């Protein structure tokens, strides 16, 4: 490790910590989906491989893909937040665990760090087009959820700044991810995730654009031009992402852009469909799945408030498996499996599913003995009814494929779990006795329908504590546990296959940027 970047924690005061804080590298983007998350992940592993102590950070993430992290002890509690003073909704020092965005979870693993809530202090989980659930420092906060967007920013900035300062005090390098674009001039006054963070951390910034969309140089120049002049000085390089073709044909545009802005283009990253990292929004298509001859087609129902899609990434790496979005009956007609994934608004997504005619298609598939899997919200949909006495999600009739009833409760269940399948029947029998690890994120409890059970129609509990249920025929399985396909034992049982480990994926990302960034750039960012 570079002695100049050895850990610098000082317990005397927060000001000392700020003066001796970690170097910060920040990844900004010209648009959402430009590639910020995976570049940040690659940088986390690249710097960790140089021997540095690295942590990721994203002040605010808007995503329904979340992971559960455990409580952690915080060394800088006294220095940065004595007693939680000044933090009405909880101190970063408390670190009770809870939810963070999936991208920051994977970035922490890439950095060889323990994922924790300070790495993503604010998580917004969209429930409707005009409403999001607010998760602050891992915990759902009803008061903040009720505040308008702009009014919320100043209320949460102290926790965001303290979280970042604490990570800087405890690490050599913090790799920061921005959100959307830093040039959204309608949002600059209330910004808490892009330029305000960059200034606070004195970050050396990269600006990433997706050249495959077209207009990349206009995006880069326009973003630079709309940034305040003082903030432009933080930009150290432009990155062209997802390039297809002969890179020599880009000239003289990078040189002209540097002459206009003073910012060099430091990397041209080729299109890479099968890098193995879960996309932040779980996006997949035929170019990033189906290795070799297709033997199993898995149709995942893509309702509007779908969540936790990143857990299906390992299936993309299983030889012979093709994943397909299902938005119409035609999309599931020839599928071997139909998966109902998690949902941030179960009753609303269930109504959408019916409007598309997918309810009848799923019922017909199940009647033929086809495999149906419901995960979390998908499990709830498979039952007879959703009952909502507290106005959490909404009442609705279920699909009737499992004799179960879900009752929503105000308290949200957020926890890591390990459990073992009992004996299963039918197509899922290969999972019998398999122990798996994962996590729960859901409102409500699911139990057998009393009247149906009395009549002899009983769902079989195939995991402790109501975590998983199976129908009598054995082809319909529902479980609350996220992460089934991330467990090597489950993949081996279901497909007889192993897939690349996440650690190997992270190393591949680091190798990729090592090849395609200009020599010396990554070192210069922390010099």
Catalytic residue list: 376, 482
Residue in the block written with tokens 């054995």: 474
Q: Is 330 exposed, middle or buried (0-12, 13-18, 19+ CB in 10 A)?
A: exposed
DSSP per-residue letters across 183-208: T-TTTGGG-SSSHHHHHHHT-EEEEE
Helix locations, 227-295, DSSP H: 229-232, 253-261
DSSP per-residue letters across 151-186: HHHHHHHHHHHHHHHHHHHH-SEEEEE--S-TT-TT
What letters, b where the CB count within 10 A reaches 16 and e where it falls short, cover 273-283?
eeebbbbbbbe
CA–chain centroid gap for 274, Å, is 18
∠ CA 186-161-190, nearest 5°, is 15
Residues 55, 271: Cα–Cα separation, whole Å? 27
Residue in the block written with tokens 């670190």: 95
Greatest Cα-to-Cα distance within the chain, rounded to the nearest angstrom: 78
Helix locations, 333-386, DSSP H: 346-355, 358-367, 377-382
Residue 66: phi and psi, rounded to 5, are -130, 155
Residues 301, 268: Cα–Cα separation, whole Å? 35
To 10 degrees, what angle do helices 502-516 and 102-110 make?
80
- Per DSSP bridges, beta strands 435-448 and 54-57 are unpaired
- 3-class secondary structure, 215: coil
Peptide bond into 252 cis (omega under 30): yes
CA atoms within 13 A on the CB side of 114: 10
Q: In what order do the strands lie in the sheet with 396-397?
A: 396-397, 385-387, 404-420, 435-448
Neighbours of 432 (CB within 10 A): 14
Q: Is the dihedral of CA 58, 98, 477, 429 positive or negative?
A: positive
114's tokens? 């323990």
């Amino acid at each position: 490790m570079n002695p100049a970047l050895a850990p610098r924690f000082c317990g005397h005061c927060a000001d000392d910590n700020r003066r001796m804080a970690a170097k910060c590298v920040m990844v900004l983007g010209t648009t959402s989906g430009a590639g910020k998350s995976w570049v940040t992940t690659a940088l986390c592993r690249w710097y960790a491989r140089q021997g540095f102590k690295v942590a990721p950070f994203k002040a605010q993430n808007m995503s329904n893909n979340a992971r559960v992290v455990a409580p952690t002890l915080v060394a800088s509690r006294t220095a940065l937040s004595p007693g939680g003073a000044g933090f009405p909704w909880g101190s970063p020092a408390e670190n009770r665990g809870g939810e963070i965005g999936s991208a920051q979870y994977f970035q922490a693993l890439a950095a060889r760090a323990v994922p924790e809530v300070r790495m993503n202090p604010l998580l917004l989980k969209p429930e409707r087009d005009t409403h999001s659930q607010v998760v602050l420092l891992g915990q759902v906060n009803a008061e903040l959820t009720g505040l308008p967007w702009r009014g919320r920013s100043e209320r949460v900035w102290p926790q965001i700044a303290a979280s970042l300062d604490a990570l800087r005090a405890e690490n050599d390098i913090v790799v920061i991810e921005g959100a959307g674009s830093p040039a959204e001039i309608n949002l600059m006054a209330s910004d808490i995730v892009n330029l305000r963070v960059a200034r606070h951390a004195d970050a050396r910034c990269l600006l990433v654009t997706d050249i495959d969309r077209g207009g990349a140089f206009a995006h880069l120049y326009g973003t630079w031009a709309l940034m305040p002049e003082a903030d432009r000085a933080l930009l150290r390089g432009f990155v062209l992402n997802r390039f297809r073709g002969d890179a020599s044909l880009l000239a003289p545009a990078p040189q002209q852009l540097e002459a206009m802005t003073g910012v060099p283009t430091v990397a041209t990253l080729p299109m890479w469909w099968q890098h193995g990292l879960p996309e932040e929004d779980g996006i997949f298509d035929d170019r990033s799945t189906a290795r070799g001859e297709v033997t199993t087609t898995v149709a995942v129902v893509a309702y509007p408030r779908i969540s936790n899609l990143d857990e299906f990434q390992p299936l993309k790496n299983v030889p012979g498996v093709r994943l397909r979005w299902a938005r119409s009956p035609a999309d599931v007609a020839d599928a071997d499996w139909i998966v109902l994934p998690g949902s941030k608004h179960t009753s609303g997504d269930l109504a959408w599913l019916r409007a598309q005619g997918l309810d009848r298609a799923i019922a017909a598939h199940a009647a033929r003995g086809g495999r149906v899997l419901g995960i979390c919200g998908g499990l709830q949909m498979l039952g007879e009814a959703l009952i909502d006495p507290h106005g959490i999600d909404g009442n609705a009739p279920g699909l009737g494929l499992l004799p179960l009833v879900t009752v929503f409760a105000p308290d949200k269940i957020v926890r890591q779990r390990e459990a073992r399948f009992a004996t299963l029947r039918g197509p899922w029998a290969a999972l019998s006795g398999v122990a798996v690890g994962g996590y729960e994120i859901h409102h409500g409890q699911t139990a057998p329908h009393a009247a149906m059970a009395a009549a002899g129609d009983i769902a079989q509990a195939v995991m402790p504590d109501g975590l998983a249920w199976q129908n009598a025929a054995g082809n319909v399985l529902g479980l609350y546990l996220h992460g089934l396909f991330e467990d090597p034992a489950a993949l081996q049982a279901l497909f007889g296959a192993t897939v690349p480990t996440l650690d190997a994926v992270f190393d591949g990302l680091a190798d990729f940027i090592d090849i395609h960034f200009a020599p010396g750039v990554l070192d210069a960012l922390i010099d």
